């Protein structure tokens, strides 16, 4: 397995689930460390290198969203996947806003878990959007993770930059959600049920609208995917 020596930190306070997650990950060849407290999990994530943090939302000591925000502040390139019993869109958006790379809503299958873990590990270190892209009046800076237009600026995430860069490279055609999952999120199985793309697009569009208003920029083509409509 390509990532057989990857180190994964699991922060989950449900003892049975923590043990189950560790057993599955070890079985699939990963080095795993488990912690049941948010504050201790944050300290471990900051003090010891790991390739991925699997992080529950509801934790004693410090909640998972706070842990994720602090990890992202201190270690911007750390891969983090949130595990949450809350599947509502607002809760998912909160997880992404805190800096999560992906989320897994409970209950989840082992197949879904491994698809998402392997996808995040595959794209770790592959910052395809670490460049500058100019679309119309907006300059997207993948190094500083900011979008600027006419003296105004808004922070963007690494994943949002990756989306912009990929759509820009393929601006002559419609890009499907499945293609984005494969090429940007690095999912090996793009048939997995997830609203990750939709929610990232929603957040990205809102940020763009603060810079240039509500005109067309990324258009959704019903049943087909997304098309970049900004002038290049």
In what side-by-side order are the strands of the sheet with 138-141? 132-135, 138-141, 146-149, 152-155
Predicted local distance difference test score (pLDDT) of residue 29: 84
Share of the chain above pLDDT 90, in %: 40
Angle at 40 between CA 106 and CA 119, to 5 degrees: 45
User: Under CATH, which number does the domain 7-123 receive?
Assistant: 3.40.50.2300
Listed by start position, the domains of the chain span 7-123, 132-228
Calculate helix-pair angle for 89-97, 64-74, nearest 10 degrees.
30
Predicted structure pTM score: 0.65
pLDDT single digits (tens) 10-52? 999 999 999 999 999 998 889 999 999 999 999 999 999 999 9
Q: Is the dihedral of CA 112, 113, 114, 118 positive or negative?
A: positive
Q: How many other CB atoms are found less than 10 A from the CB of residue 173?
A: 12
pLDDT at 54 over 80: yes
Predicted local distance difference test score (pLDDT) of residue 230: 65
pLDDT single digits (tens) 154-186? 988 888 998 999 999 898 899 999 999 988 888
pLDDT at 215 over 90: no
Query: What is the pLDDT of the chain when averaged over all its residues?
Result: 86
Q: Do 7-123 and 132-228 share a fold?
A: no
Give the residue, 85 or 34, on which the prediction is more confident: 34
CATH classification of 132-228, choosing from 3.90.226.10, 1.10.10.10, 3.10.105.10, 3.30.70.20? Answer: 1.10.10.10
Predicted local distance difference test score (pLDDT) of residue 136: 84
Least confident of 1-5, 38-42, 227-231: 1-5
**CA distances in angstroms from 113 to 11, 51, 64, 107, 213, listed in the order given:** 15, 16, 18, 10, 38
Kindly state the average pLDDT of the residues 117-124.
81
232: Cβ contacts below 8 Å, ≥ 6 apart: 134, 135, 136, 168, 171
């Amino acid at each position: 397995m390509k990532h057989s020596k990857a180190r994964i930190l699991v922060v989950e306070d449900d003892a049975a689930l923590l043990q189950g997650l560790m057993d599955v990950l070890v079985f699939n060849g990963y080095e795993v460390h488990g912690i049941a407290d948010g504050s201790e999990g944050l300290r471990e994530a900051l003090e010891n290198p790991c390739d991925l943090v699997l992080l529950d939302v509801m934790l004693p000591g410090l909640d998972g969203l706070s842990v994720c925000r602090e990890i992202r502040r201190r270690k911007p390139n750390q891969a983090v996947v949130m595990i949450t019993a809350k599947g509502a869109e607002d809760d998912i958006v909160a997880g992404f806003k805190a800096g999560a790379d992906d989320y897994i809503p409970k209950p989840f299958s082992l197949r879904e878990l491994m698809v998402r873990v392997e996808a995040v590990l595959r794209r770790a270190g592959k910052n395809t959007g670490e460049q500058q892209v100019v679309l119309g009046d907006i300059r997207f800076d993948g190094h500083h993770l900011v979008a600027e237009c006419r003296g105004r600026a808004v922070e963007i995430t690494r994943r949002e930059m990756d989306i912009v860069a990929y759509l820009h490279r393929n601006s002559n055609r419609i890009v499907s959600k499945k293609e984005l999952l494969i090429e940007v999120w690095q999912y090996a199985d793009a048939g997995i049920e997830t609203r990750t793309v939709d929610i990232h697009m929603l957040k990205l569009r809102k940020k763009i609208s603060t810079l240039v208003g509500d005109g067309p920029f990324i258009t959704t083509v019903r049943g087909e995917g997304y098309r970049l409509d900004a002038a290049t």
